[in-house]
């Protein structure tokens, strides 16, 4: 059972929902300081909704195609979020661009996970583009959302090595493993009141820079 005083979080999804699953699993622990109060999908029939149901969390569909325009879609999204009582909104594989109006209403209460070390490789197909660029380290980023795509103050990043024989799928799987650790950690920090934004940079109270360097490739 979640903590009674655990802070309420809503998760926005559009697809398979493995990052949602990581949050649901984390929130099942009695000491986790956040609880998932509602999952909202922009599309019906996605696996993420099954995951919510299996965890006993309310899943609702706010189908973008059911609305005349983006503001109408976002008004419905906003209403569903307010009704849920969520204090934080997590975009976990939510594949709709959000307008300035929506983002402004949830400023510093809206976070996104993106599968690259931002600001590199914004947008789609990040793993194939990282391989094309020949980078040695790739990874994922959790950031507060600002109006531009995949932009906003960075909260945390996790790096993974790029292997010489990686395909986009192999690399994606390695990054996804890192995502599943990073996102629940960031939501925990938020719930513990550790995150603050100063001049568009995030401070994580109690965090220290890890010692040493992370480098790749390793030879010999």
Residues of this chain that interact with ligand GAR (CB under 6 A) are: 15-19, 92-93, 113-115, 150, 176, 179
Establish whether 198 is a catalytic residue: no
Q: Which CB, 84 or 141, lies closer to ligand GAR?
A: 141
**For ligand GAR, the closer CB: 18 or 157:** 18
Structure tokens at 188: 């925990």
Nearer to ligand GAR, 3 or 137 (CB): 137
The catalytic residue among 114, 127, 138, 180 is 114
From the CB of 13, what's the least distance to ligand GAR, in Å?
6
Closest residue to ligand GAR, Cβ-based?
93
Q: Which long-range contacts (CB under 8 A, 24 or more apart) does 67-73 make?
A: 70/99, 71/99, 71/101
Residue 129 or 194: which CB sits closer to ligand GAR?
Answer: 129
Query: What whole-number distance in Å separates Cα of residue 32 and Cα of residue 53?
Result: 20
Under a CB-based contact definition with an 8 Å cutoff, are residues 41 and 60 in contact?
A: yes
Q: How far apart are CA 20 and CA 1, in angstroms?
A: 18
Do the Cβ atoms of 40 and 31 come closer than 8 Å? no
Assigned token pair, 68: 């005349």
Give the whole-angstrom CA distance, residue 196 versus residue 199. 10
Q: Shortest distance, CB of residue 116 to ligand GAR, whole angstroms?
A: 8
Residue 106: CB minimum distance to ligand GAR, A? 16
Closest CB 113 distance from ligand GAR, rounded Å: 5
195 strand-pairing partners? 204
Which amino acids are annotated catalytic?
114
């Amino acid at each position: 059972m979640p903590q009674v005083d655990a802070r309420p979080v809503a998760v926005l999804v559009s697809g398979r929902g493995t990052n949602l699953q990581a949050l649901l699993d984390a929130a099942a622990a009695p000491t986790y300081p956040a609880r998932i109060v509602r999952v909202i999908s922009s599309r019906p029939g996605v696996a993420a909704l099954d995951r919510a149901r299996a965890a006993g969390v309310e899943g609702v569909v706010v189908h973008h195609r059911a609305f005349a325009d983006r503001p109408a879609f976002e008004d419905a999204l906003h209403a569903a979020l307010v009704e849920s009582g969520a204090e934080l909104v997590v975009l976990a594989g939510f594949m709709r661009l959000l307008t300035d109006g929506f983002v402004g209403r949830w400023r510093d209460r809206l976070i996104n996970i993106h599968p690259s070390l931002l600001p590199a490789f914004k947008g789609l197909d990040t793993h194939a583009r990282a391989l094309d660029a020949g980078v040695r380290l790739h990874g994922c980023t959790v950031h507060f959302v600002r109006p531009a795509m995949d932009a906003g103050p960075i909260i945390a990043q996790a790096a993974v090595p790029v292997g010489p024989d990686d395909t986009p799928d192999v690399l994606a799987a390695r990054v996804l493993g890192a995502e599943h650790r990073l996102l629940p950690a960031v939501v925990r920090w938020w719930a513990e009141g550790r995150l603050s934004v100063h001049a568009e940079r995030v401070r994580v109270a109690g965090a220290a820079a890890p010692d040493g360097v992370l480098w790749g490739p390793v030879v010999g």
